[in-house]
Amino acid sequence: MRINKYIASCGITSRRKADQLILDGRVAVNGVIMREPGYDVKQGEEVTCDGIRIAPERDKIYILLNKPLGYVTTTSDDRGRPTVLDLIQDEDRRIFPVGRLDYNTSGLLILTNDGDVANKLMHPSKELEKTYRAVVSGILTCGKIARLECGVNIGGFKTSPAKVEVRKHNKKSTVVDITIHEGKNHQVRRMFKAVGAPVQELQRIRIGKLMIGRLAIGGYRKLGPAEVEYLHSI
């Protein structure tokens, strides 16, 4: 098994992030630092990450979390900030967050130990839709909506057309749902800033067919069989 897939199957991180672990010299095979992402792990070889022996997880788990503000979407943080794993209190198996959700953004996040599913969810070729509910400054005019729906330049990158639905507004702010399929850093905030409507609050409410629903902030649940089947079908 290719070593990045091996690491992902151990519930450490996704395949894409596993490549970086290897390049950073944090992975060893039989005690020797491995820096070849294309290496095939052979039966009986001992693989370690940060000095800890790892092995593939047989039982797969899929958790949907309503991430609060003030948590980082990583398994650990060198600045001592709380991570999303701190919110999962009743799971002993290694899991990792799929993709990222900004420190100041709340909402739907998937955690799993299934590296293959994580890779599918994050791969750009899947063009998986994600919906965010934003509170933006001022009134979101028809002209601004049209620009978002056509794609806007967010600094050397023009976004694909977005789907925009205004939920309500007053003189000071607008509540709006925006659906995109890309995942550039701070993309939604940069899109609204580009049309002169800076974001005040931001929550992700949907990934593909998975919805946040009425799940409380900081709450989480395991995905049901139909939802897991959907993830594998992506």
Q: Which two tokens stand for residue 79?
A: 């600045």
Please name the CATH architecture into which domain 3-54 falls.
Answer: Roll (3.10)
Domain segments of the chain: what residues?
A: 3-54, 62-125+213-233, 129-207
Q: Which two tokens stand for residue 41?
A: 């792990």
User: Mind listing the pLDDT tens digit for each residue in 149-197?
Assistant: 999 999 989 999 999 999 999 989 999 999 999 989 999 999 999 999 9
Phi-psi region of 121 (alpha: psi -120 to 50; beta: other; left: phi over 0): alpha
Residue 198 gets which letter from DSSP?
A: -
The angle at the Cα of 65, spanning 115 to 223, to the nearest 5 degrees, equals 65
State residue 156's pLDDT score: 87
Sheet strands side by side (includes 27-29): 32-33, 27-29, 47-49, 52-54
Residue 116 in contact with residue 57, Cβ under 8 Å?
A: no
For residue 139, how many C-alpha atoms fall within 13 Å in the half-sphere facing its CB?
5
Out of 77, 102, 116, 177, which one is annotated catalytic? 102
User: Mind listing the pLDDT tens digit for each residue in 12-26?
Assistant: 888 888 999 999 999
Asked about 102 being catalytic, the answer comes back as yes
Do 129-207 and 3-54 fall under one CATH topology?
no
Of 3.30.70.580, 3.40.50.700, 3.40.50.2020, 3.40.50.2300, which CATH number belongs to 62-125+213-233? 3.30.70.580
Check whether 225 has a pLDDT greater than 90: yes
Of residues 126, 174, 172, the one with CA closest to residue 148: 174
Please name the CATH architecture into which domain 129-207 falls.
Answer: 2-Layer Sandwich (3.30)
